[in-house]
Structure formats: structure tokens, C-alpha cells
Amino acid sequence: MNGVSIEVQLGERSYPVVVGRGASRDLGRFVPARSRRIAIVTQEGIPAVGAFDRPTTTIRIADGEPAKSLTAVESLSREFANFGLTRNDLVVAVGGGIVTDVAGFAAASWHRGTPLLNVPTTLVGMVDAAIGGKTGVNLPEGKNLVGAFWQPVAVVCDPDLLAGLPPREWRCGLGEIAKYHFLTGEDLTSLDLDDRIARCAAIKASIVAEDEREGARRALLNYGHTLAHAIEIVDQHRLAHGEAVAVGLIFAAELAHRLGRIDRRRVDQHRRLVVEEYRLVGELPAGLGADELLQAMKRDKKATDGLTFVLDGPNGIEVVAGVDGSIVREALVDFGATT
């Protein structure tokens, strides 16, 4: 296997993010020595990965955002119990961000913490969702409101698993990659797929190492996500996550311009990258109400000090708390929300 290994530096809990073609065929090397049983959590239609040399069970969860629920975590936990999984064994999450979020939270909760190995099979999983230890599920009131920080023993990104990935899932990943473009100023469009995955993984690994629990710099990874999460909740997940992030990136630029933080040229740079380079939709879905979106944003988990956004500005991308709701509402209406 050719590829690279990127270390997420967290002291005794450090772990590798391996990016390489064929990496998923040799998962045994990441299994902790004390693990006697392995529970693979996946979904129907997910590509198969390499076999393990110890008792294994495969548990499939439902598709779509409704699968990110406390009910799903309870169901997984009961399957773990029936299999006899202990805190010394291993949960292997094979799938996209929904799988790694749900399986990761179940692993964090099972016996108060069971080792986890992430094998993302989507682009968004490889560049973002599977790295960093954030796990969680949704409530009707908001995205990812219940969860835990639970770092895996490794993340194995095999680009071969992306063969046959539906166009919508490609768009999801590109939305997150666009985010990294603005966070770093790097031209990630010039890289081939494998190098782009590895570079995004390295960016996220360095941010997580500096701020594991999102107390400061890690919050920047939520660029474009405040509106994105609101769209997902209000519009009942008709847009996939990365598609909503693409819209959220452009709105964040428009809001930053309205607040006098950036000029129109910088807004146009956001739109050009998202819409022209990555060929993503940069407009709000029709029929969404400004007041509904505003209420959903107020429930965002980052909103600990009033409405909070990650916004561009003269000092680069930074967290801005206490944004005036009336200004946000005006920006939403101008962006296409209904009054």
C-alpha cells in the first residue's frame, strides 16, 4: 500500500489518519491487541473492507439523517450487548459521516468508552467527519445536539472506496473542501484526489491537536455551518450536509460584507470558488422562512453567547459572537429567505 500517515497529536491518545489506496484491505494492524471481538457498524450498499482474524459481527443502521438519533444509539447498544462486546473490544465504523457519528457516539457510551476505528467511505468522511473525535446525533430541535468527544484508534481513508460514489456525495465532500480553501488560503483545486484528501486531513489534524474540544481554534472548522445546520433542520434534510455547507459559506461571506468585515471582491471570491470551481449550488432553497432559520441558528451548539458565526474579516476567518439578529434576518431576506 502506498500512501501517507498523518498523526493527530493528542499525547497518549494520538492516532494516525492513513490515506492510501488499498488501506482498507489491511485493517488488522489497527486492532488493539487486547480486543477479542469486533462490531462493524455500517449501512446497506457500503463497500466491503478487509476481514478480521477474530469474532466479528456486522450491524447495519438505516440511511439518511433520521438514522442519527438516540433511538439508533440504543439499538446499536443492544446489539453490542447481544454480541457480548466489552470495553476492551473494538467498534469499527465503515461508512460516511452518519455512520461514524452514530457508531462513534455508541462506542463512546458503551461501557463508558470502547475503542473505535473509523473507515470512512465518502469524501466528506475522509476530509472531515471521521477525523477529530466529534460524535453525535440529532434532535428535532437541532443538529448534533447530543454527543461526545471520542477519539478513534485510527482513521483509514482508502480512496478506492470512493469508486461509484453518487454525485450528491461528491458534492458533499467538495463543500467541506471549499471550507478548507478559505481557512488556509491554499489552492486545493490544483491537487489530485488523493493529495487533496491527505491535505485536508492534515489541516484538520493540526487544528484538532491544538484544540481538541472546540474551545477556540477548532470552532473555525464550522465555517459555513451555522446556516447549513439551520437549512438542514428547517428544510428536513432535503439538502445533504456538504451541499448546505456550500450555501452557508456564501451566506457567511454576504453577512461578513454586511457587517463591514470584507469587501464585495472577497464575497465574489467565495461565490466563484463554490459555484464555478466546485460547481455547487450557492443559493438558499426556495421557500425557507427567515424567522425559522434564525430560530434554528439560535439553537446552534456554538451559540453560547448570542448568535454566533464563523466569519471572514481583516484578520482572516474567526469566531464572531453576539451578532445582531435583526442584521442576520435582513441578510437572510436579501439572500432569498421568505419574510
Mean pLDDT, residues 318-339 taken together: 95
180-215 residue pLDDT tens? 999 999 999 999 999 999 999 999 999 999 999 887
pLDDT of residue 196: 96
Overall residue count recorded for the chain in this entry: 339
The residue from 37, 222, 270, 302 that is catalytic is: 222
Contacts of 58 (CB under 8 A, 6+ apart): 40, 42
The residue from 143, 181, 196, 218 that is catalytic is: 218
- Please indicate whether residue 199 is annotated as part of the active site: no
The residue from 44, 112, 265, 315 that is catalytic is: 112
Distances, alpha carbon 218 to alpha carbons 132, 183, 191, in Å: 10, 11, 24
Q: Give the whole-number percent of the chain exceeding pLDDT 90.
A: 87
The larger pLDDT score, comparing residue 64 to residue 1, is at: 64
| Beta strand residue intervals within the chain, DSSP E | 4-8, 15-19, 38-42, 56-60, 90-95, 116-120, 134-139, 142-149, 154-157, 309-311, 318-320
pLDDT of residue 117: 98
pLDDT of residue 303: 67
pLDDT of residue 299: 82
pLDDT band at 319 (very low <50, low <70, confident <90, very high): very high
Strands 15-19 and 154-157: parallel
The residue from 68, 179, 229, 257 that is catalytic is: 229
Q: What is the 3-state secondary structure (H, E, C) of 201-247?
A: HHHHHHHHHHCCCCCCHHHHHHCCHHHHHHHHHHCCCCCCHHHHHHH
The residue from 204, 257, 270, 302 that is catalytic is: 204
The residue from 176, 212, 243, 254 that is catalytic is: 176
- Please indicate whether residue 176 is annotated as part of the active site: yes
Mean pLDDT, residues 153-179 taken together: 94
- Please indicate whether residue 44 is annotated as part of the active site: no
Q: How many other C-beta atoms are found inside a 10 Å radius of the C-beta of residue 102? A: 28
pLDDT band at 54 (very low <50, low <70, confident <90, very high): very high
Would the pLDDT of 286 be above 70? Answer: yes
- Please indicate whether residue 218 is annotated as part of the active site: yes
Name which of 20-29, 235-244, 310-319 the model is least confident about: 235-244
Mean pLDDT, residues 289-308 taken together: 85
Q: How many other C-beta atoms are found inside a 10 Å radius of the C-beta of residue 22? A: 14
The residue from 65, 79, 169, 214 that is catalytic is: 214
- Please indicate whether residue 229 is annotated as part of the active site: yes
Pick the CATH number of 4-178 from 3.40.30.10, 3.40.50.1970, 3.30.70.100, 3.40.50.1100: 3.40.50.1970
Q: What is the CA radius of gyration of the chain?
A: 20
The yes or no reply on domain 223-334 and CATH 2.40.110.10 is no
Mean pLDDT, residues 175-182 taken together: 94
pLDDT of residue 1: 53
1-49 residue pLDDT tens? 568 999 999 999 999 999 999 999 999 999 999 999 999 999 999 998 9
- Please indicate whether residue 204 is annotated as part of the active site: yes
pLDDT of residue 215: 77
Average pLDDT across the chain, whole number: 94
pLDDT of residue 252: 97
Q: Is the dihedral of CA 104, 110, 114, 117 positive or negative?
A: negative
Q: Give the whole-number percent of the chain exceeding pLDDT 70.
A: 99
- Please indicate whether residue 181 is annotated as part of the active site: no
The residue from 37, 68, 79, 134 that is catalytic is: 134
The residue from 143, 179, 241, 270 that is catalytic is: 241
91-140 residue pLDDT tens? 999 999 999 999 999 999 999 999 999 999 999 999 999 999 999 999 88
DSSP, res 46: P
Can you give the residue ranges of every domain in the chain? 4-178, 223-334
- Please indicate whether residue 302 is annotated as part of the active site: no
